[in-house]
Copies of this chain bind each other. A is one copy, B any other.
Amino acid sequence: MTLPRAELIITGCTVLLHDDQERIGWEEDAAIVVRGGAVESVTTAAAVRDTPAAERIDARGQVALPGLVNCHTHAPMVALRGLAEDLPTERWFNDVVWPVESNLTEKDVELGARLACAEMIRGGVTCFADHYFTMDTVAAVVVECGMRALLGQAYFSSQGPEGREDSLEFALRHRGSAGGRITTALAPHAPYTVTDADLAATAGLAREHGLPVHLHAAENRDQTDTSLVRHGRTPVEVLADTGILDADVLIAHGTGITERDLPVLARAGGRVAVATAPRGYLKFAWPTTTPIRALRDIGVPVGLATDGAASNNSLDVWESMALTSLIQKSTEGDPRWLTSRQALHHATLQSARAVGLGEEVGSIAPGRRADIILVDLTGPHTQPVHDLPATLVHSARAADVRTTIVDGRVLMRDRHLLTIDVPAVVGELEERLPALVDRGHGRRVQQYDT
Contacts and interface: CB of A to CB of B under 8 A. Distances in A.
B430 A119 contact: no
Contact of A381 (B123, B383, B420): B123
A437 B386 contact: yes
B86 A394 contact: no
Given A78-B380, A86-B339, A386-B437, 18 more contacts: A78-B384, A82-B385, A82-B390, A85-B339, A85-B387, A86-B337, A88-B335, A123-B381, A279-B326, A283-B335, A285-B335, A313-B391, A313-B395, A314-B381, A315-B381, A378-B422, A384-B426, A397-B399
A433 B384 CA distance: 9
Interface string A116-133: 101100110000000000
B313 A87 contact: no
Interface of A: 78-83, 85-89, 115-116, 118-119, 122-123, 279, 281-287, 309, 313-316, 326-327, 329-330, 332-337, 339-340, 378-381, 383-387, 390-391, 394-395, 397-400, 420, 422-423, 425-426, 429-430, 433, 437
B122 A336 contact: no
Nearest to A387: B82
A309 to B, nearest CB: 8
Given A335-B86, A429-B384, A397 B398 contact: yes
Contacts of A429: 383-384
Contacts of A340: 85-86
Given A118-B380, A282-B327, A283-B335, A81 B123 contact: no
Given A81-B386, A119-B380, A429-B383, A330 B285 contact: yes
A119 to B, nearest CB: 4
A164 B382 CA distance: 34
22 contacts: A79-B384, A81-B383, A81-B391, A83-B386, A85-B339, A88-B335, A88-B336, A89-B335, A116-B380, A119-B380, A122-B380, A282-B326, A283-B326, A285-B330, A285-B332, A314-B395, A378-B422, A378-B426, A380-B426, A381-B398, A383-B426, A386-B437
